[in-house]
Amino acid sequence: MLSFCITFKANPILFKMYCSLQRTKCNIQLLKKYTFADTMSRNLFIWILILVAKNIPAQICTLPGQTPATAFPICGNGTFNQPNLSACRNDAIYVPGCTDQRTSYGDNNPFYYKFSCNTSGSFAFTITPISMNENYDWQLFDITGHNPIDIFRDKTLIISGSWSGSTGPTGASASGVNFIQCRSDPFFEQKPTFASMPLLQAGHNYILLVAHTDDILSGYSLSIGGGTADITSNTIQEIKAEAATCDNRQMMILFSKKIKCSSIAADGSDFNLSPASASIVNVTGINCNNSFNTDSIVFTFNNPLPVGSYTMFIKNGTDGNTLLDNCNNSLNNNTQVSFQVFPFAALDSIIPVSCLPDKLVLTFKKSIRCNSVATDGSDFIITGPGSVLISNASMICNNNAVTNQVEIKLQQPITNPGNYILTLKNGTDGNTITDACNEVTPVGESINFTIKDTVNADFTITIKEGCIADTVLFFNEGKIGVTRWYWSLDNNISLQQSPSVLYTSGGFKLAELIVSNGLCSDTVQNVFAIKQKLVVDFIAPLTSCPEASVVFKDNSSNAVNWFWNFSNGNTSNLQNPPPQQYPNTGSEKEYNVMLTVQNGNCIETTNKKITVKASCIIAVPTAFTPNNDGLNDFLGPLNTGAVSNIQFTVFNRYGQPVFKSSEINSKWNGTINNIKQPAGVYVWLLKYTDPVSGKIILQKGSTLLFR
């Protein structure tokens, strides 16, 4: 790390960026002042420093809300204010359409929000920086059935996002762009900061990442509202599980949804145990020290619970409530939870199985002794639709040589889908397993798990050709239980199984599909061609002189046949027709010129109007009175609408030029540098190209200026 800071009086923003990237606190009063010969060399030096500083690793995030696992729960519409956080980074983030642009994306200085969708619909929100010169990025993930940390490795979880480098508010709105905006340099390019509203699905769980590339940040507010999705849960879900620790002095209740840590009465008054074989001396929410909510509560008793059946009653405590979820819904008073105290370490669960798993991680309701597990995996047998052979078993043991998890390594990945059973048996060590209280788990203890088949992202493309646009239909069969589709289609994103997209421009197009069944995913890319569309257009002058040669030039695309109608009695089938003339009618007249083009069955037509002047004789007034009365205030040529290459110059009596212009409608107001010129005779010189003959015309004369 460099041990000094550099500031530039001319560019404090660059100084701020430099100090931020160096992870250095700069005291402006103590800085050395450096100057450079020019702006270019100064900025070049700064960018070199920034590039060097980018190689300095950021700190790992540890505060609640700054990791996916400790995301802040939000519920319903409202505004959530987020003050400044510590500078940190967890991991790289994949951004569809952007990651391959040699730019590293990651959750720099992040804050995470989690929520569930109660009613399907669009999701709108706004992130408003406290300091409007700051740039915030965001990305939305669907983590249904996934560990939150999967956002760093599973591309199929991505729903939407915006990584525009432009400062100010960002978010999702009805007017946002329909693709993820890649990172941009605000010094050179301004890009939209809002994406279109993503669609949420009822029953799905989501994580919203808000990130900031600069370590110097002031905070922001997150406002939810404007979409049709409902992220307010209106029911309390039932409690799904319970477990006891190995020494029976502690008991844990697991909930099927998160509850607020702040709603748990620390004195245990929210709970009553029956039968009252022990008294509650302490109640703790798991992970409440570094998170905002929990799905597990641990009870500590004054003595061990005897083996048997129990009921825990949840009631209003001294804090005036039972337990509250993220939407402040409460459990009913006297909700009952039944549980058993086992005499041994029973199998509790298998950590979610991946696609084609080559290992399984078992969890136990009580801690088990590590030395009771046969390392060759012979304590376990797996049965199901396919043959599964165990290679070995391993575990991570604490200082007391006990653990709650065992990892079973398989000889080959499980490829046959279906339901499997893992059963405990006596291993080569002569026993099953023994818990921390020296109780042996009996032979036959088992647990079920499910394997899903691999998926296929192959898709078909059907092009329905149109004259103005082609409709392209994309289709994936969705076999093998595919539940999620993520299409990237020419800057369009779709979550439908069979989307359709309109293509108005021709050329080669790229389509990418990522599919998933919750465990297995697959990605396929296809390139297809769209024919150039028929576009009609031509170039024509706005005005012309009588009897002048008027040139019309075709500017169409992909045309095969042309038909011109010039409204002067002439037509043409040539792409670029011969010049046309319009008669002198004695008055100004407008003509409608029409071009029709054809390619196969496609026909397109356009028209433009051309005004033919009554006369193209140019005149210069013999006198003018620049007194701002609205009459004859200016000196200049009249009737110049059809001529080109005009030059008009005015001289005083000494031959000095007092006015010069090559603009069609530019005229002299009788002043030089806002100083009025004296009355008298002024000579003028006029030069232009005649629209009829094409010759250069030179005229001169004199005009009297009256004051």
Judge whether residue 74 has pLDDT over 80: yes
For 681, the enclosing helix (H) or strand (E) is: strand 680-689
pLDDT of residue 9 exceeding 60: no
Q: What does the pLDDT average to over 382-395?
A: 95
pLDDT band at 8 (very low <50, low <70, confident <90, very high): very low
**Residues 368-395: what's their mean pLDDT?**
95
- pLDDT for residue 52 is more than 70: no
Query: Could you give the dihedral angle defined by the CA atoms of residues 232, 236, 241 and 247, in that order, rounded to the nearest 10 degrees?
Result: 100
What is the helix (H) or strand (E) element at residue 658, kind and residue range? strand 657-661
Of 122-131, 436-445, 542-551, which one has max mean pLDDT? 122-131
Q: End-to-end distance of the chain based on CA atoms, in angstroms? A: 75
Share of the chain above pLDDT 90, in %: 51
| 249-269 mean pLDDT | 84
DSSP annotation of 522 reads E
Three-state SS string over 567-606 comes to: CCCCEECCCCCCCECCCCCCCCEEEEEEEEEEECCEEEEE
pTM: 0.47
Q: In this predicted model, what pLDDT tens digit does every residue of 540-559 receive, in sequence order?
A: 998 888 888 899 999 999 99
- For the chain, list the domains and their CATH numbers: 6-53 (no CATH), 68-224 (no CATH), 239-341 (2.60.40.1220), 347-451 (2.60.40.1220), 460-530 (2.60.40.10), 538-612 (2.60.40.10), 623-705 (2.60.40.1220)
Cα distance between residue 163 and residue 191, in whole Å: 10
Confidence tier at 339 by pLDDT (50, 70, 90): confident
**What DSSP assignment string belongs to 69-114?**
GGPEE--SSEEEEE------EEEE---TTTTTTT---EEES-EEEE
**Residue 193 binned pLDDT confidence (cut-offs 50, 70, 90):** very high
Say if residue 134 is exposed, middle or buried (CB neighbours under 10 Å; 0-12, 13-18, 19+).
middle
